[in-house]
Amino acid sequence: MILLNMIRTEQCFSHLITCTMKHVVKILSILVTISAIWVGLLQTSIVPRSHTWLLPIYFVVSLGCYGLLMVGVGLMQFPTCPQEALLLQQDIMEAKEFLKQKGVDVSSD
């Protein structure tokens, strides 16, 4: 049983590693492509040099904008469940009553 569990954990772990590896490979390939295009633009100088030099900063700025946008969207659509919160508060009150009856001190603070 323990061996089976260990094997399962191992499988999970290796799956996680391959997942992150895939992600890393994806990000790296995107970076390499972008830098290849950039170097090509620099070498061929289709666009004036001073504008080609701006492109990496443009990518950094757009990455920052994307991060900020994702944080904003996440804040806007933050899932809340007020009914469940009410039920949880009721449960807590009930449990406190029960424990007080049994003589357990559960005063918070």
Partner 1 sequence: MELADRAVGFLLSFISLSIFTYYTFWVIILPFVDSDHFIHQYFLPQEYAILIPVFAGVTLLFFLCIFVGMVMFKSNKKKP
Residue 9 makes CB contacts below 8 A (sequence gap 6+) with none
CB of 35 to partner 1, least distance (A): 18
CB of 29 to partner 1, least distance (A): 23
Considering beta carbons, is residue 2 or 81 the nearer one to partner 1? Answer: 81
CB of 66 to partner 1, least distance (A): 8
Tokens 């089976």 label which residue? 4
Considering beta carbons, is residue 20 or 62 the nearer one to partner 1? Answer: 62
Considering beta carbons, is residue 17 or 47 the nearer one to partner 1? Answer: 47
Considering beta carbons, is residue 64 or 94 the nearer one to partner 1? Answer: 64
Task: State the residues that interact with partner 1 by CB under 8 A.
Answer: 47-48, 50-51, 53-55, 57-58, 60-62, 64-66, 68-69, 71-78, 80
